[in-house]
Structure formats: structure tokens, C-alpha cells
Amino acid sequence: MTEEQFYEALQEKGFELSDTQKQQFKRYFEVLVEWNEKMNLTAITDAPSVYLKHFYDSVTSAFYVDFKKYESVCDVGAGAGFPSIPLKIIYPHLHVTIVDSLNKRITFLNYLAGELKFENVAFVHARAEEFGRNPKYREQFDVVTARAVARLSVLSELCIPLAKQGGLFVSMKGAAASEEMKDATRAVKLLGAVLQNEHEFVLPEENSERHIFVFEKKKQTPKKYPRKPGVPNKTPITAN
């Protein structure tokens, strides 16, 4: 997907980008490639793949969730900023918080935010489990999102505690999504959320399967969740 095809694809979905926004995507790509030479941020560095698999894929949730209605977004384990930085470019009003366990990625994101002249962004170096127990962040966000971080049964425990009541947890998944959803049913309910919508589509050009699950937080998450760092991954809340 070329830069131009990316903008055309967004236009077809009703997103008309300004010159400033286009310049931000261009600069994002440049900074990603520059920094990737010093640290391993992504295996994908050629422009057509970055525009398709990182930028376009990151904004697909906006085709189904109206981010104009929300103010605060938390991205758990965003790595090099996906999906929340592309979403922030498209929706400049968003207050974006990214939590990541690797400090070098936080350093990159801070530099990137300066280059893109962002306001209302925060990058926190922490394990998601500890972050979710911190009263400053727990149940504070309108939307919590994550892309390719962990299986849904694990991810639910890291993300749902951060969403405020009435807020959303938006999970971006690939071909194994349906199986993951079955495993995560008990966890989602226990943590206080319900499945609101599931959207299925194919990523253009490479035709790979994508699923976006939109969960609504209906009630407070029990205080014991998330459990200590490493525990959700080792012993997920499963359906059995």
C-alpha cells in the first residue's frame, strides 16, 4: 500500500486527512525507520508494508468505533505506537496514554511525540498488571485498546480494569479470534464487561483475516484483578 493508496483507502471510509496529518504519517514512518536501526522496534520497515500493516491496520478500529465521542484512550503494550499513534493523528482531540514494559520504547515514543508536535499524550514505563492496579489509571479511560499483545483471555485482565464504567475495551485480533473469544468468555464477564460487537474484515492487498471485538464495561472490576505481573499469562482466567 503506497502512501497515496493509504490516503485513498481512508477517504473511502470517510476520513479526509489534512496536509498536517499526512505530514505526521510521513514523519512517523521516517522516525520509525531511523530508530529501528538503533533498536528493534519492528520487523516491518519498507514503506508499503508500514502503511498497510502498521498505519492502515491500526486505524481499522475507527471504521467501527466513533472515537469522536470519546476523549481518553489507553493503549496497552503499544510497542512502537500501534494502534494509538495513528489514531491520535486522525483524531487530534484524543488524550492518549501508552503503557509499555520496555523503557527504550517509551524513549522512542517521547521523541516521536515531539516530532509530531503532539499534545495530550503520556507514555508510561510499567508492567500492565501494576499499571492496572494504580488508582491514577484504574477505571479512568473511555477506551482501552491493544493490538497483538496477548491472547484475549490474558489481554482482558490487563485492559478491562483500566476502562471506566460505560467505557470500551477494543481488542484487535487476527485469524484465531473466534477461538480466543471462546477462551475469554469467563474472563470478560468476571472483569465486568460484555461483548457489544464483533467486526470481521480482510486487510486489503494481503487478504489476511482481522477481527475487532468491542466490549463495554458494565460494572467495576473486582479489586483482585489484574493479578501480579506474570500471573495472568501463566494462569489465564479460562472458561473451564
DSSP element (H, E) containing 212: strand 208-217
Strand partners, 213: 171, 198
DSSP element (H, E) containing 178: helix 177-190
Q: Which residues contact 205 (CB under 8 A, 6 or more apart)?
A: 1, 52
- Check whether 82 is labelled as a binding-site residue: yes
Number of H helices, E strands in the chain: 10, 7
Cα dihedral sign for 3, 7, 8, 9? Answer: positive
- Check whether 129 is labelled as a binding-site residue: yes
Q: Which residues contact 54 (CB under 8 A, 6 or more apart)?
A: 32, 42, 44, 80, 82, 86
Pairing status of strand 163-173 against strand 208-217: antiparallel
Cα-based distances in Å from 119 to 36, 97, 115? 24, 11, 11
Cβ atoms of 168 and 215 closer than 8 Å: yes
- Check whether 8 is labelled as a binding-site residue: no
Binding-site members are: 77, 82, 128-129, 147
Residues of the binding site for S-adenosyl-L-methionine: 77, 82, 128-129, 147
